[in-house]
């Protein structure tokens, strides 16, 4: 079973705040599901190439082009941000 | 049903505005109880309906979906319309653009009635994980409509929309279609552009229709397919009209029954109806053959590793900075993270703690763990290898048979609250549907009968899976079954 410390570490990596009283629930629930995954150990996967998706397509690329947007379109994006200043989304200081 | 309405519109027996108003009237009368819709888009709908009526009046030709009212799952973006994915973290989010499918529908003149309820970010099998409301199953309002496209399925079953769009990551179109007694199609991965669909698990997600008849599903599919520069995994299409493939003849086809699906955990009533349906396919001239999908028992665990891993990555974008909910509770979490200033880190933690529901948080944490240093090989990499084996099972099966037939779900719609406390039981609901997502093949759920429970008739769905990009095949087989055996809903 995952320890309380494990759960707090995973929460921190996931950028999700959790209350102390929730830790035990997460320990139980996450461990139940992780235990369930153990059945995969019995599958012989020697020499099997893993697949990430099923289309078999390689990377599809496009030009790195600047696209001009109208003021209306810009505002539609900016208006969704919790905090803005002039025509910019305001980000908390990172330095 | 779409064809009949289309005829009525062009013959002038009704108008699109009239039809649209009738549907808003139905929503007004019935949706208080069913709670299928999260947002109604009446202005948009009437505007579009008027536009179509003008076209008809002028004698212009209209497209098959023109003027016909449709409901859209709330994880598909419509420009200028609130799009929440039933999450508090997107409570105030107004989509700044149209999803590719919406762009297509608008061009075809479809009338969008509103956005439907769902499990938060499509994570769930009952629509009980919505942050807003509990949608009821129209067949028995004490039961769930299934999920995650439960709002779309209930809206169609209750005729609060002619048809609806949903999304399917592990069964989220087919399972609610089965629970509500309608038709649900998950196209081949890549058939329909995912651009503008709020991503849950990108290698599994696919948009598809929920409809009242198989023919309707074929008509809708023809209108929404196509390669899209904005979805690098979308496949080229050749403007196929799927409704033209509905011949009603399946006399030369081979249908495989996977023996592993009938082994355990299947409700007796469903088993009996399923056996009946097999007999009916036989009577229609199909050859029935037992097949094996040896790795199918590992589908569920493989899915519950790959999906949360992709979820943890996709949902990292909800950070309380760019859009959506921001919460700063000003209390210290006690966490420390090197390299990130405390205030920014606390904003991430608080916004995501209060913005996400418990199932979403659980899956993000599960995925984060599975992808973290030291566990990647044992979990994620192993699951990707088993996924390759599951896909190989299908390749081998499709050398022997044209389609694979199974029940859609191991049981009928369950009661509200019945499974919320037992995660694995809830997950089990998708046991027959997730292999199609892992392998990418198309699958359709259609009604094969009803059983009585607590004095209510509850629908049972059958699922046909086909070869990659053979939607026309499964549509024709389901259509042939439907015109011969299904009772109208």
Q: Is B106 a catalytic residue?
A: no
Candidates B324, B366, B384; nearest CB to A33? B366
User: In which residue are the tokens 């210290």 written?
Assistant: B332
Report chain A residues whose CB lies below 8 A from the CB of B189. Answer: 53-55
Write out pLDDT tens, residues A1-39. Answer: 899 999 999 999 999 999 999 999 999 999 999 999 999
Contact B273, B239 (CB under 8 A): no
Query: Given this model, what pLDDT does residue B333 score?
Result: 79
- Reported as half-sphere exposure (CB side, CA atoms, 13 A), residue B415 has a value of 7
Distance from CA of B15 to the nearest CA of A (A): 33
CB contact under 8 A, B353 and A33: no
Q: Is residue A77 part of a domain?
A: no
% residues pLDDT > 70 (chain A): 99
Q: What are the CA-CA distances from residue B69 to residues A78, B8, B76 (Å)?
A: 31, 14, 16
What are the structural domains, with CATH classification, of chain B? 1-318+356-489 (3.90.1300.10)
Q: Is residue A29 part of a domain?
A: yes
Query: Given this model, what pLDDT does residue A1 score?
Result: 87
Backbone angles phi, psi at B399, to 5 degrees: -80, -25
Query: Given this model, what pLDDT does residue B487 score?
Result: 61
Rounded Cα distance, B102 and B108, in Å = 10
CB contact under 8 A, B94 and A43: no
- B227 touching chain A per CB within 8 A: no
Taking Cα atoms as reference points, which of B183, B188, B179, B105 lies closest to residue B148? B179
Q: Is residue A13 part of a domain?
A: yes
In A, residues 26-85, which contact B (CB 8 Å cutoff)? 26, 29-30, 32-34, 36-37, 39-41, 43, 45, 48-55, 57, 59-60, 62, 73, 76-77, 79-83
Rounded Cα distance, B167 and A64, in Å = 30
Candidates A8, A36, A55; nearest CB to B235? A55
Rounded Cα distance, B367 and B51, in Å = 47
Distance from CA of A66 to the nearest CA of B (A): 15
Q: Is residue A22 part of a domain?
A: yes
How many CB atoms within 10 Å of residue B331?
Answer: 9
Q: Is residue A35 part of a domain?
A: yes
Taking Cα atoms as reference points, which of B211, B163, B133 lies closest to residue B447? B211
In B, residues 338-357, which contact A (CB 8 Å cutoff)? 340-341, 343-350, 352-353, 356
Q: Is residue A72 part of a domain?
A: no
Q: Is residue A16 part of a domain?
A: yes
Q: Is B148 a catalytic residue?
A: yes
CA B213, distance to chain mean position in Å, is 16
Residue A59 above 90 pLDDT?
no
Residue A25 domain boundaries: 4-42
Average confidence (pLDDT) over A37-43: 94
Rounded Cα distance, B277 and B257, in Å = 12
Report chain A residues whose CB lies below 8 A from the CB of B203. Answer: 52-54
3-state class of B75 per DSSP? coil
Structure token digits, residue B50:
């008027």
Stated as kind and residue range, the H or E segment containing B287 is strand B287-291
CB contact under 8 A, B372 and A10: yes
Query: Given this model, what pLDDT does residue B70 score?
Result: 98
Q: Considering B148, B152, B299, B439, which one is annotated as catalytic?
A: B148
Structure token digits, residue B183:
């038709």
ipTM surpasses 0.85: yes
Report chain A residues whose CB lies below 8 A from the CB of B304. Answer: 33, 36-37
Q: Is B73 a catalytic residue?
A: yes
- B467 touching chain A per CB within 8 A: no
Contact B403, B466 (CB under 8 A): yes
CB contact under 8 A, A15 and B352: yes
Rounded Cα distance, B243 and B60, in Å = 23
Q: What is the tally of structural domains in chain A?
A: 1
Distance from CA of A65 to the nearest CA of B (A): 14
Report chain B residues whose CB lies below 8 A from the CB of A79. Answer: 94
In B, residues 230-269, which contact A (CB 8 Å cutoff)? 232-233, 235
Taking Cα atoms as reference points, which of B15, B113, B112 lies closest to residue B62? B15
3-state class of B82 per DSSP? strand
Query: Given this model, what pLDDT does residue B34 score?
Result: 98
Q: Considering B16, B87, B152, B172, which one is annotated as catalytic?
A: B172
Stated as kind and residue range, the H or E segment containing B343 is helix B342-355
Structure token digits, residue B468:
């990659």
Q: Is residue A92 part of a domain?
A: no
Contact B143, B413 (CB under 8 A): yes
Contact B339, B70 (CB under 8 A): no
CA B306, distance to chain mean position in Å, is 18
- Per residue of chain B (489 residues), give pLDDT as tens: 999 999 999 999 999 999 999 999 999 999 999 999 999 999 999 999 999 999 999 999 999 999 999 999 999 999 999 999 999 999 999 999 999 999 999 999 999 999 999 999 999 999 999 999 999 999 999 999 999 999 999 999 999 999 999 999 999 999 999 999 999 999 999 999 999 999 999 999 999 999 999 999 999 999 999 999 999 999 988 889 999 999 999 999 999 999 998 887 788 999 999 999 999 999 999 999 999 999 999 999 999 999 999 999 999 999 999 999 999 887 787 777 777 888 899 999 999 999 999 999 999 999 999 999 888 999 999 999 999 999 999 999 999 999 999 999 999 999 999 998 888 888 888 999 999 999 999 999 999 999 999 999 999 999 999 999 999 999 999 999 999 987 654
Taking Cα atoms as reference points, which of B429, B370, B412 lies closest to residue B119? B429
Contact B113, B385 (CB under 8 A): no
Average pLDDT across chain A, whole number:
91
Q: Is the pTM of this model over 0.95?
A: yes
Query: Given this model, what pLDDT does residue B338 score?
Result: 75
């Amino acid at each position: 079973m995952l320890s309380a410390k494990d759960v707090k570490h995973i929460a921190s990596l996931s950028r999700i705040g959790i209350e102390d009283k929730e830790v035990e629930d997460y320990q139980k629930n996450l461990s139940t599901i992780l235990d369930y995954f153990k059945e995969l150990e019995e599958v012989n996967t020697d020499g099997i190439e893993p697949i990430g998706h099923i289309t078999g397509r390689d990377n599809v690329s496009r030009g790195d082009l600047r696209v001009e947007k109208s003021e209306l379109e810009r505002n539609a994006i900016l208006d969704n941000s919790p905090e803005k200043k002039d025509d910019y989304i305001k980000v908390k200081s990172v330095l | 049903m779409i064809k009949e309405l289309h005829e009525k519109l062009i013959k002038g027996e009704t108008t699109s505005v009239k039809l649209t108003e009738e549907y808003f009237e139905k929503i007004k009368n019935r949706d208080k109880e069913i709670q299928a819709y999260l947002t109604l888009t009446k202005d948009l709908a009437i505007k579009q309906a008027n536009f179509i009526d003008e076209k008809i009046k002028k004698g212009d030709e209209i497209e098959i979906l023109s003027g016909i009212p449709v409901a859209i799952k709330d994880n598909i973006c419509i420009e200028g319309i609130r799009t929440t994915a039933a999450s508090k973290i997107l409570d105030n989010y107004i989509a700044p653009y149209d999803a590719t499918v919406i762009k297509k529908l608008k061009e075809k003149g479809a009338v969008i009635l509103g956005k439907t309820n769902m499990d938060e970010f499509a994570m769930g099998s009952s629509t009980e994980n919505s942050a807003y409301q509990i949608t009821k199953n129209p067949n028995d309002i004490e039961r769930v409509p299934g999920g995650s496209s439960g709002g779309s399925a209930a809206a169609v079953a209750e005729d609060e929309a002619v048809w609806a769009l949903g999304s399917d990551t592990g069964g989220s179109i087919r399972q609610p279609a089965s629970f509500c007694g309608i038709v649900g199609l998950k196209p081949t991965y890549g058939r329909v552009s995912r651009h503008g669909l709020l991503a849950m698990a990108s290698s599994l997600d696919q948009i598809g229709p929920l409809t009242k008849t198989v023919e309707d599903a074929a008509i809708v599919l023809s209108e929404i397919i196509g390669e899209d520069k904005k979805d690098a995994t979308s496949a080229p299409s050749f403007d196929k009209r799927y409704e033209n493939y509905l011949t009603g003849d399946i006399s030369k086809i081979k249908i495989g029954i996977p023996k592993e699906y009938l082994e355990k955990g299947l409700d007796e009533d469903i088993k009996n109806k399923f056996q009946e349906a097999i007999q009916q396919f036989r009577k229609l001239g199909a050859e029935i053959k037992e097949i094996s999908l040896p790795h199918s028992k590992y589908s569920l665990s493989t899915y519950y590793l790959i999906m949360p891993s992709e979820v943890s990555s996709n949902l990292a974008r909800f950070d309380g900075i760019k859009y959506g909910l921001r919460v700063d509770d000003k209390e210290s979490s006690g966490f420390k993270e090197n390299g990130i200033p405390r205030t920014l880190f606390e904003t991430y933690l608080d916004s995501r703690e209060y913005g996400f529901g418990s199932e979403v948080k659980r899956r993000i944490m599960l995925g984060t763990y599975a992808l973290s240093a030291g566990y990647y090989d044992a979990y994620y990499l192993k699951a990707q290898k088993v996924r390759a084996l599951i896909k190989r099972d299908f390749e081998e099966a499709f050398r022997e048979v044209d389609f694979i037939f199974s029940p859609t779900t191991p049981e009928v719609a369950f009661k509200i609250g019945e499974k919320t406390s037992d995660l694995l039981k809830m997950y089990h609901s998708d046991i027959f549907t997730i292999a199609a997502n892992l392998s990418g093949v198309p699958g359709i759920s259609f009604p094969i009968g009803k059983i009585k429970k607590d004095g209510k008739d509850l629908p049972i769905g059958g699922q046909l899976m086909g070869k990659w990009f053979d939607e026309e095949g499964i549509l024709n087989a389901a259509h042939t079954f439907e015109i011969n055996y299904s009772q109208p809903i």
